[in-house]
């Protein structure tokens, strides 16, 4: 009753990497740009390791490459971080997994160590989609100044916890 009086809970989603903030529609892979996996943003990765964009449980780490991982928050938001395009076929030595599936993690904790030089040598597109895979169920507000340098651990998305 009186659900319109309930205050919406907002969850901050922070940048998991340093880089230039891009619209998800700018990603060359249609799986991301056409939002087949959900809505979000992309970051043109420049340097550093990869950190958790939200607190929650690591729901998946894509094996064997460890190029992508998902986190499910206690509110039910599912966030996927996918480092680079066409990275699924990479073998070991590029991404070093620091956290395991099923572990609880806090926003800003390091999840992956990255050998950027190896990615550059292999001519990998370093765009990094950050996707809310169940975005259809939530209101999403993008607090992004596109084409600007984003700093790891700064808020880039707000997800309002109010089921549609």
Domains of the chain, by residue range, sit at: 7-161
Q: Under DSSP, is residue 33 helix (H, G, I), strand (E, B) or coil?
A: helix
Report the alpha-carbon angle 67-71-72, nearest 5: 155
Report the alpha-carbon angle 139-164-30, nearest 5: 60
> Cα separation of 15 and 83, whole Å?
12
Q: Which of 67, 82, 96, 104 is catalytic?
A: 82
pLDDT value for 61: 94
CATH superfamily of the 7-161 domain:
Glucose Permease (Domain IIA) (2.70.70.10)
pTM of the model: 0.90
Q: C-alpha distances in angstroms, 87 versus 51, 83, 101, 122?
A: 18, 7, 19, 10
Q: C-alpha distances in angstroms, 27 versus 52, 54, 115?
A: 21, 22, 22
> Cα separation of 157 and 15, whole Å?
8
CA pseudo-torsion sign 35, 159, 84, 103 = negative
> Cα separation of 112 and 79, whole Å?
15
> How many CA atoms lie within 13 Å of 55's alpha carbon, on the beta-carbon side?
5
> Cα separation of 122 and 136, whole Å?
35
CB–CB of 112/93 below 8 Å? no
Per-residue confidence of the chain (164 residues) as pLDDT tens digits?
A: 455 555 567 888 899 999 999 999 999 999 999 999 999 999 999 988 999 999 999 999 998 889 999 999 998 999 999 999 988 888 778 999 999 999 999 999 999 999 999 999 999 999 999 999 998 877 887 777 888 887 888 877 776 665 54
**96 catalytic per annotation:** no
């Amino acid at each position: 009753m009186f659900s319109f009086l309930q205050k919406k809970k907002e969850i901050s989603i922070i940048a998991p990497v340093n880089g230039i903030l891009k619209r998800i529609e700018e990603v060359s892979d249609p799986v991301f740009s056409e939002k087949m996996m959900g809505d979000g943003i992309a970051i043109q990765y420049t340097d550093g390791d990869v950190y958790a964009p939200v607190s929650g449980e690591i729901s998946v780490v894509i094996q064997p490459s460890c190029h992508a991982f998902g986190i499910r928050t206690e509110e039910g938001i599912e966030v996927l971080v996918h480092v680079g395009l066409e990275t699924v076929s990479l073998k070991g030595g590029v991404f070093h997994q620091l956290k395991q599936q099923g572990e609880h993690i806090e926003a800003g904790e390091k999840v992956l160590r990255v050998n950027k030089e190896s990615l550059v040598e292999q001519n990998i597109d370093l765009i990094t989609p950050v996707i809310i895979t169940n975005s259809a169920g939530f209101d999403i507000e993008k607090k992004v100044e596109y084409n600007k340098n984003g700093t790891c651990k700064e808020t880039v998305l707000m997800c309002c916890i109010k089921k549609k």
